[in-house]
Structure 1
Amino acid sequence: MSDASLHRLPDQLRGNLRLVFVGTAASTRSAKVGHYYAHPGNRFWRALHEAGITPRRYRPDEFAALLALGIGFTDLSKTGAGMDHEIARQSFDVIGFRAKIETYRPKTIAFTSKTAASLFYHKPTSAIALGRQAPPRGFPEVFVLPSPSGAASATWTLQPWRELAEWIAQT
Protein backbone atom coordinates (compact mmCIF):
# COMPACT_ATOMS: atom_id res chain seq x y z
CA MET A 1 0.00 0.00 0.00
CA SER A 2 1.41 3.44 -0.91
CA ASP A 3 1.84 6.23 1.61
CA ALA A 4 -0.79 8.27 -0.26
CA SER A 5 -3.40 5.56 0.27
CA LEU A 6 -2.81 5.74 4.02
CA HIS A 7 -3.52 9.49 4.10
CA ARG A 8 -6.85 10.37 5.67
CA LEU A 9 -7.17 13.53 3.57
CA PRO A 10 -5.19 14.43 0.46
CA ASP A 11 -2.99 17.50 0.58
CA GLN A 12 -4.33 20.35 -1.50
CA LEU A 13 -1.06 22.07 -2.33
CA ARG A 14 0.63 23.65 -5.34
CA GLY A 15 3.28 26.30 -5.81
CA ASN A 16 2.78 29.91 -4.72
CA LEU A 17 -0.57 29.63 -2.95
CA ARG A 18 -1.79 32.74 -1.13
CA LEU A 19 -2.70 30.71 1.94
CA VAL A 20 -2.40 27.18 3.30
CA PHE A 21 -4.54 26.04 6.23
CA VAL A 22 -2.76 23.58 8.51
CA GLY A 23 -4.65 21.34 10.93
CA THR A 24 -3.41 18.72 13.34
CA ALA A 25 -5.21 15.77 11.69
CA ALA A 26 -8.51 14.87 10.09
CA SER A 27 -11.49 14.56 12.37
CA THR A 28 -13.21 11.19 12.42
CA ARG A 29 -15.99 12.63 10.24
CA SER A 30 -13.56 14.25 7.79
CA ALA A 31 -11.61 11.01 7.46
CA LYS A 32 -14.83 9.10 6.80
CA VAL A 33 -16.14 11.41 4.06
CA GLY A 34 -12.77 12.58 2.69
CA HIS A 35 -13.37 16.33 3.11
CA TYR A 36 -11.55 18.87 5.26
CA TYR A 37 -13.49 20.30 8.24
CA ALA A 38 -16.53 18.14 7.46
CA HIS A 39 -18.18 17.79 10.88
CA PRO A 40 -21.47 19.73 10.92
CA GLY A 41 -20.44 21.45 14.17
CA ASN A 42 -17.16 22.72 12.75
CA ARG A 43 -17.11 26.50 12.13
CA PHE A 44 -14.34 26.45 9.51
CA TRP A 45 -16.40 27.02 6.36
CA ARG A 46 -18.61 29.64 8.00
CA ALA A 47 -15.59 31.47 9.46
CA LEU A 48 -13.80 31.46 6.11
CA HIS A 49 -16.68 33.34 4.53
CA GLU A 50 -17.65 35.55 7.50
CA ALA A 51 -14.04 36.72 7.87
CA GLY A 52 -13.94 37.67 4.18
CA ILE A 53 -11.40 35.09 3.02
CA THR A 54 -13.80 33.53 0.50
CA PRO A 55 -16.49 35.26 -1.58
CA ARG A 56 -19.16 32.78 -0.50
CA ARG A 57 -19.66 30.00 2.00
CA TYR A 58 -18.20 26.80 0.59
CA ARG A 59 -19.20 23.31 1.68
CA PRO A 60 -16.70 20.73 2.93
CA ASP A 61 -17.10 18.69 -0.26
CA GLU A 62 -15.94 21.74 -2.24
CA PHE A 63 -12.55 22.00 -0.50
CA ALA A 64 -10.60 21.26 -3.71
CA ALA A 65 -12.26 24.26 -5.39
CA LEU A 66 -10.36 26.59 -3.05
CA LEU A 67 -7.15 25.91 -4.97
CA ALA A 68 -8.61 28.21 -7.66
CA LEU A 69 -8.71 30.94 -4.98
CA GLY A 70 -5.08 30.29 -4.04
CA ILE A 71 -5.99 28.43 -0.83
CA GLY A 72 -4.60 25.02 0.09
CA PHE A 73 -4.87 22.47 2.89
CA THR A 74 -2.68 20.04 4.79
CA ASP A 75 -2.40 18.47 8.25
CA LEU A 76 0.54 17.71 10.52
CA SER A 77 -0.66 14.11 10.75
CA LYS A 78 -1.74 12.61 7.46
CA THR A 79 -2.41 9.17 8.95
CA GLY A 80 -4.22 9.92 12.23
CA ALA A 81 -7.87 10.81 12.64
CA GLY A 82 -9.98 11.92 15.59
CA MET A 83 -9.67 14.49 18.33
CA ASP A 84 -6.15 15.76 18.99
CA HIS A 85 -5.71 13.75 22.19
CA GLU A 86 -6.63 10.57 20.28
CA ILE A 87 -3.89 10.98 17.65
CA ALA A 88 -0.63 9.09 18.23
CA ARG A 89 2.12 11.66 18.84
CA GLN A 90 4.49 9.84 16.49
CA SER A 91 2.08 10.41 13.58
CA PHE A 92 2.65 14.18 13.68
CA ASP A 93 5.24 14.88 10.99
CA VAL A 94 6.53 18.42 11.52
CA ILE A 95 9.67 17.75 9.47
CA GLY A 96 7.56 16.50 6.55
CA PHE A 97 5.28 19.53 6.91
CA ARG A 98 8.27 21.91 6.80
CA ALA A 99 9.50 20.17 3.65
CA LYS A 100 6.10 20.65 1.99
CA ILE A 101 6.12 24.35 2.81
CA GLU A 102 9.68 24.75 1.53
CA THR A 103 8.69 22.93 -1.68
CA TYR A 104 5.43 24.79 -2.39
CA ARG A 105 6.35 28.16 -0.83
CA PRO A 106 2.92 29.60 0.00
CA LYS A 107 2.76 33.26 0.98
CA THR A 108 0.99 32.58 4.30
CA ILE A 109 0.21 29.57 6.46
CA ALA A 110 -2.54 29.48 9.07
CA PHE A 111 -2.65 26.87 11.80
CA THR A 112 -6.28 26.10 12.60
CA SER A 113 -5.58 25.52 16.28
CA LYS A 114 -3.11 26.40 18.98
CA THR A 115 -2.37 22.68 19.23
CA ALA A 116 -1.14 22.53 15.64
CA ALA A 117 1.00 25.63 16.20
CA SER A 118 2.40 24.23 19.44
CA LEU A 119 3.53 21.07 17.64
CA PHE A 120 5.20 23.17 14.94
CA TYR A 121 6.90 25.61 17.33
CA HIS A 122 7.67 22.91 19.95
CA LYS A 123 6.04 25.01 22.67
CA PRO A 124 3.16 24.30 25.06
CA THR A 125 -0.22 25.53 23.83
CA SER A 126 -0.29 28.01 26.73
CA ALA A 127 2.74 29.73 25.17
CA ILE A 128 1.02 30.15 21.78
CA ALA A 129 -0.87 33.37 21.07
CA LEU A 130 -3.60 33.75 18.48
CA GLY A 131 -2.95 35.89 15.42
CA ARG A 132 0.15 36.67 13.40
CA GLN A 133 3.36 35.03 14.59
CA ALA A 134 7.04 35.56 14.01
CA PRO A 135 7.77 33.10 11.20
CA PRO A 136 10.86 30.93 11.38
CA ARG A 137 13.68 32.15 9.18
CA GLY A 138 12.98 31.47 5.51
CA PHE A 139 9.36 30.56 6.21
CA PRO A 140 6.19 32.31 5.00
CA GLU A 141 4.03 34.46 7.25
CA VAL A 142 2.35 32.43 10.00
CA PHE A 143 -1.02 32.91 11.68
CA VAL A 144 -2.56 30.92 14.51
CA LEU A 145 -6.35 30.73 14.50
CA PRO A 146 -8.67 29.49 17.20
CA SER A 147 -9.87 25.99 16.48
CA PRO A 148 -13.14 26.00 14.53
CA SER A 149 -14.06 22.64 16.08
CA GLY A 150 -17.33 22.54 17.97
CA ALA A 151 -15.37 20.96 20.83
CA ALA A 152 -13.46 24.25 21.20
CA SER A 153 -16.51 26.52 21.54
CA ALA A 154 -15.35 28.03 24.83
CA THR A 155 -12.36 29.70 23.16
CA TRP A 156 -13.96 30.62 19.82
CA THR A 157 -13.47 34.07 18.33
CA LEU A 158 -13.63 35.20 14.71
CA GLN A 159 -11.22 38.12 15.20
CA PRO A 160 -7.96 36.29 14.29
CA TRP A 161 -9.69 34.99 11.15
CA ARG A 162 -10.54 38.60 10.23
CA GLU A 163 -6.92 39.64 10.83
CA LEU A 164 -5.82 36.85 8.50
CA ALA A 165 -8.31 38.02 5.85
CA GLU A 166 -6.95 41.59 6.08
CA TRP A 167 -3.39 40.30 5.78
CA ILE A 168 -3.97 38.16 2.71
CA ALA A 169 -5.97 40.93 1.04
CA GLN A 170 -2.84 43.12 1.30
CA THR A 171 -0.46 40.53 -0.13
Structure 2
Amino acid sequence: MGGYRAGVQALGDVIKPGLRVLFCGINPGLVSAQTGHHFARPGNRFWPALHLAGFTPRQLRPDEQGELLRLGLGITNVVDKPSARADELTKAELVAGGENLVRKVLAYQPRWLAVVGVTAYRDAFGERKAGMGEQSRRIGETRVWILPNPSGLNAHYTLPKLAAAYAELEKVSAGGR
Protein backbone atom coordinates (compact mmCIF):
# COMPACT_ATOMS: atom_id res chain seq x y z
CA MET A 1 0.00 0.00 0.00
CA GLY A 2 1.26 3.41 -0.89
CA GLY A 3 0.81 6.69 0.91
CA TYR A 4 -2.27 8.83 0.93
CA ARG A 5 -3.27 10.90 -2.08
CA ALA A 6 -1.71 14.33 -2.46
CA GLY A 7 -3.29 16.86 -0.10
CA VAL A 8 -4.98 14.14 1.96
CA GLN A 9 -3.89 13.14 5.45
CA ALA A 10 -5.11 11.11 8.40
CA LEU A 11 -7.80 12.76 10.49
CA GLY A 12 -7.27 13.37 14.20
CA ASP A 13 -9.63 12.00 16.82
CA VAL A 14 -12.03 14.11 18.85
CA ILE A 15 -11.52 12.28 22.12
CA LYS A 16 -10.83 12.56 25.84
CA PRO A 17 -11.11 10.11 28.73
CA GLY A 18 -14.51 9.15 30.11
CA LEU A 19 -16.81 10.18 27.26
CA ARG A 20 -20.47 9.14 27.35
CA VAL A 21 -20.32 8.01 23.69
CA LEU A 22 -17.37 7.65 21.33
CA PHE A 23 -18.73 7.55 17.78
CA CYS A 24 -16.58 5.54 15.44
CA GLY A 25 -16.73 6.08 11.70
CA ILE A 26 -15.38 3.55 9.24
CA ASN A 27 -12.64 5.78 7.85
CA PRO A 28 -12.28 9.42 6.81
CA GLY A 29 -13.63 10.41 3.45
CA LEU A 30 -11.49 12.58 1.21
CA VAL A 31 -13.40 15.77 2.10
CA SER A 32 -12.94 15.06 5.82
CA ALA A 33 -9.24 14.42 5.33
CA GLN A 34 -8.84 17.64 3.34
CA THR A 35 -10.78 19.79 5.82
CA GLY A 36 -9.65 18.09 9.02
CA HIS A 37 -13.27 17.61 10.11
CA HIS A 38 -15.17 14.36 10.61
CA PHE A 39 -18.24 13.63 8.48
CA ALA A 40 -17.53 16.75 6.41
CA ARG A 41 -18.78 15.63 3.00
CA PRO A 42 -21.91 17.52 1.98
CA GLY A 43 -24.76 15.04 2.09
CA ASN A 44 -23.37 13.09 5.06
CA ARG A 45 -26.16 12.91 7.58
CA PHE A 46 -24.16 12.38 10.79
CA TRP A 47 -24.52 15.93 12.12
CA PRO A 48 -28.27 16.23 11.39
CA ALA A 49 -28.93 12.74 12.83
CA LEU A 50 -26.94 13.56 15.97
CA HIS A 51 -29.01 16.66 16.56
CA LEU A 52 -32.39 15.12 15.70
CA ALA A 53 -31.60 12.22 18.05
CA GLY A 54 -31.06 14.63 20.94
CA PHE A 55 -27.29 14.30 21.35
CA THR A 56 -26.67 17.98 20.55
CA PRO A 57 -28.79 21.05 21.38
CA ARG A 58 -28.46 22.29 17.79
CA GLN A 59 -27.08 20.91 14.57
CA LEU A 60 -23.33 21.33 14.67
CA ARG A 61 -21.24 21.87 11.55
CA PRO A 62 -18.25 19.62 10.91
CA ASP A 63 -15.90 22.51 11.82
CA GLU A 64 -17.55 22.61 15.27
CA GLN A 65 -16.64 18.99 16.05
CA GLY A 66 -14.66 20.07 19.13
CA GLU A 67 -17.97 21.12 20.76
CA LEU A 68 -18.78 17.43 21.13
CA LEU A 69 -16.25 17.01 23.93
CA ARG A 70 -18.12 19.32 26.30
CA LEU A 71 -21.25 17.24 25.60
CA GLY A 72 -19.42 14.03 26.57
CA LEU A 73 -19.16 12.85 22.97
CA GLY A 74 -16.25 12.11 20.67
CA ILE A 75 -15.33 10.76 17.24
CA THR A 76 -12.72 8.33 15.97
CA ASN A 77 -12.47 5.90 13.04
CA VAL A 78 -11.87 2.18 12.62
CA VAL A 79 -9.27 2.87 9.92
CA ASP A 80 -7.27 6.10 9.75
CA LYS A 81 -6.58 5.94 6.01
CA PRO A 82 -8.78 8.29 3.99
CA SER A 83 -10.56 7.03 0.89
CA ALA A 84 -13.34 8.09 -1.43
CA ARG A 85 -15.47 5.11 -0.37
CA ALA A 86 -15.31 2.73 2.59
CA ASP A 87 -15.43 -0.26 0.24
CA GLU A 88 -11.91 0.69 -0.91
CA LEU A 89 -10.57 -0.64 2.41
CA THR A 90 -9.23 -4.17 2.63
CA LYS A 91 -10.40 -6.66 5.22
CA ALA A 92 -6.86 -6.66 6.65
CA GLU A 93 -7.03 -2.88 7.13
CA LEU A 94 -10.36 -3.24 8.94
CA VAL A 95 -9.07 -6.03 11.20
CA ALA A 96 -5.95 -4.01 12.06
CA GLY A 97 -8.17 -0.97 12.64
CA GLY A 98 -10.37 -3.00 14.99
CA GLU A 99 -7.32 -4.00 17.02
CA ASN A 100 -6.21 -0.37 17.22
CA LEU A 101 -9.73 0.69 18.18
CA VAL A 102 -9.75 -1.77 21.09
CA ARG A 103 -6.49 -0.26 22.38
CA LYS A 104 -7.92 3.26 22.05
CA VAL A 105 -11.15 2.35 23.86
CA LEU A 106 -9.22 0.69 26.69
CA ALA A 107 -7.06 3.81 27.03
CA TYR A 108 -9.93 6.36 26.99
CA GLN A 109 -12.72 4.26 28.52
CA PRO A 110 -15.87 5.80 27.05
CA ARG A 111 -19.13 4.40 28.46
CA TRP A 112 -20.28 3.53 24.93
CA LEU A 113 -18.54 2.89 21.63
CA ALA A 114 -20.95 3.52 18.74
CA VAL A 115 -19.67 2.10 15.44
CA VAL A 116 -21.45 3.68 12.47
CA GLY A 117 -21.57 0.88 9.95
CA VAL A 118 -22.53 -2.74 10.57
CA THR A 119 -20.42 -4.21 7.74
CA ALA A 120 -17.27 -2.45 8.95
CA TYR A 121 -17.97 -3.66 12.49
CA ARG A 122 -18.45 -7.24 11.29
CA ASP A 123 -15.17 -7.14 9.35
CA ALA A 124 -13.16 -5.35 12.05
CA PHE A 125 -14.26 -7.69 14.84
CA GLY A 126 -15.00 -10.90 12.95
CA GLU A 127 -18.59 -10.95 14.17
CA ARG A 128 -20.45 -11.98 11.03
CA LYS A 129 -23.91 -12.01 12.63
CA ALA A 130 -23.71 -8.63 14.38
CA GLY A 131 -26.77 -6.44 13.85
CA MET A 132 -27.83 -2.92 14.69
CA GLY A 133 -28.13 -1.86 18.31
CA GLU A 134 -26.39 -3.02 21.47
CA GLN A 135 -23.82 -5.81 21.12
CA SER A 136 -22.87 -8.47 23.64
CA ARG A 137 -19.19 -7.48 23.17
CA ARG A 138 -17.63 -5.27 25.82
CA ILE A 139 -14.24 -3.62 25.54
CA GLY A 140 -13.16 -3.38 29.14
CA GLU A 141 -16.14 -1.63 30.75
CA THR A 142 -17.21 0.01 27.48
CA ARG A 143 -20.46 -1.16 25.97
CA VAL A 144 -20.74 -1.42 22.18
CA TRP A 145 -23.58 -0.25 19.92
CA ILE A 146 -23.85 -0.40 16.13
CA LEU A 147 -25.55 2.46 14.30
CA PRO A 148 -26.39 2.81 10.61
CA ASN A 149 -23.77 4.50 8.48
CA PRO A 150 -24.85 8.15 7.97
CA SER A 151 -23.24 8.41 4.54
CA GLY A 152 -25.49 9.65 1.80
CA LEU A 153 -24.51 6.44 -0.01
CA ASN A 154 -26.50 4.44 2.57
CA ALA A 155 -29.87 4.71 0.81
CA HIS A 156 -31.50 2.17 3.14
CA TYR A 157 -31.75 4.81 5.86
CA THR A 158 -33.54 8.10 5.41
CA LEU A 159 -32.63 10.92 7.79
CA PRO A 160 -35.70 10.25 9.99
CA LYS A 161 -34.77 6.55 10.22
CA LEU A 162 -31.15 7.43 11.04
CA ALA A 163 -32.27 9.90 13.71
CA ALA A 164 -34.57 7.28 15.26
CA ALA A 165 -31.73 4.73 15.40
CA TYR A 166 -29.36 7.29 16.93
CA ALA A 167 -32.09 8.33 19.42
CA GLU A 168 -32.21 4.80 20.82
CA LEU A 169 -28.55 5.08 21.81
CA GLU A 170 -29.05 8.61 23.11
CA LYS A 171 -31.74 7.37 25.53
CA VAL A 172 -29.72 4.38 26.70
CA SER A 173 -26.44 6.29 27.04
CA ALA A 174 -28.04 9.16 28.96
CA GLY A 175 -28.90 6.65 31.70
CA GLY A 176 -25.25 5.91 32.60
CA ARG A 177 -23.40 2.61 32.47
Percent pairwise identity: 34
Q: CA deviation at 1:50?
A: 0.3
Structure 2 unmatched ranges of 5 or more: 1-7
Q: TM-score, normalised by structure 2?
A: 0.85
* Residue 88 (structure 2) pairs with residue 86 (structure 1): yes
Q: Which moved more, 1:91-100 or 1:12-21?
A: 91-100
Structure 1 unmatched ranges of 5 or more: 1-5
1:28-107 paired onto structure 2 within 5 Å: 28-92=30-94, 93-107=97-111
Q: CA deviation at 1:20?
A: 0.2
* 2:5 counterpart residue number: none
* 1:167 counterpart residue number: 172
Deviations 1:19-72 (A, max 9, x none): 100111001211121110011111100000001111111001111121111111
Q: TM-score, normalised by structure 1?
A: 0.88
Of Structure 1 and Structure 2, the greater helix share is in 1
Partners of 1:153 and 1:162 lie apart in 2 by 19
Q: Aligned pairs, how many?
A: 164
Alpha carbons 2:117, 2:146 under 8 Å: kept:
yes
3-state SS of 2:169 partner: helix
Alpha carbons 1:22, 1:111 under 8 Å: kept:
yes
RMSD: 1.7
Deviations 1:66-114 (A, max 9, x none): 1111111111111232211112444332111100100110000101111
